[in-house]
Amino acid sequence: MRIVLVGPPGAGKGTQATRLAEKLSIPHISTGDLFRANISRQTELGKLAKSYMDAGNLVPDEVTIAMAKDRMEQPDAEAGFLLDGFPRNVSQAEALDRLLETEGITLDAVLDLEAPEAEVVKRIAGRRVCRKDSSHVFHVSYSKPAEEGVCDVCGGELYQRDDDSEETVRTRLEVYHTQTEPIIDYYKAQGLVVTIGAMGPVDEVTGRALEALKQDQ
C-alpha cells in the first residue's frame, strides 16, 4: 500500500506511522528522517538542505520533493510506503501526484488522524523530558513521575522543552491549519481520505487505522 499520513501535532503520527508501517510491511518515510539521512551522508541534497537550514531559511519544496523521490525509488519501497510529514502543503501534494504519475503508480489512501485541539495542546504541553536522557519522557496528566520534577529512571531533572510550551503548540497548530490541513480537501476530491479518531490507547488507534484501510480497499 502507498499511504500518506496526516494529522495535527500531537495526534500521534510518529507512533502510528511506525506501527502501521511494521504491520503493513512497508517502509516508514518521514521528512525528518530524510533530512537527517541526507545531511549525515553528506549527499548533494543534504548539503543543499543544510545550507538553507544554516542560514535560518526554510528548505524549498523542490529539495524536499527530490529527497522523497530518491527514497521512494529504493528497493524496499517497491511494494509501497507510508509517508509521514510529506506532503506538507498542496503544492507538495501536487508535485507528489506528478511524481507518482511518471512512475505509473498512485496513492491508495490518505489516512487523516483526528484529535480535538484542546487534547492536542494538553498532550504536548504536558510533556516533561529528562535532562540526563531525553528518551525518558513523562506527562503531568497521563504518565506522572513518582516524584514531581524527577525522572523515575535515572533521577534526572524533568523539564518542559521550549517547543512544548502551550504558546508554541498553538503556533504549530495554526501553521498546520493554514499550510497542511488544505491537503485533506485536496485528497478528498480524489476520494482518498480515510479519517479515524486518534484518541484512546495506542493499540486501539492502530487497530482502527488498519480496519479503516482494509475497508477502503
Catalytic residue among 88, 122, 170, 208: 88
Cell (9 digits) for 77: 519501497
Catalytic residue among 36, 132, 144, 161: 161
Q: Is residue 98 flagged as an active site residue?
A: no
Q: Is residue 47 flagged as an active site residue?
A: no
Catalytic residue among 19, 71, 123, 127: 127
Q: Is residue 172 flagged as an active site residue?
A: yes
Q: Is residue 127 flagged as an active site residue?
A: yes
Q: Is residue 214 flagged as an active site residue?
A: no
Catalytic residue among 13, 71, 123, 128: 13
SS3 41: coil
Q: Which residues are known catalytic residues?
A: 13, 88, 127, 161, 172
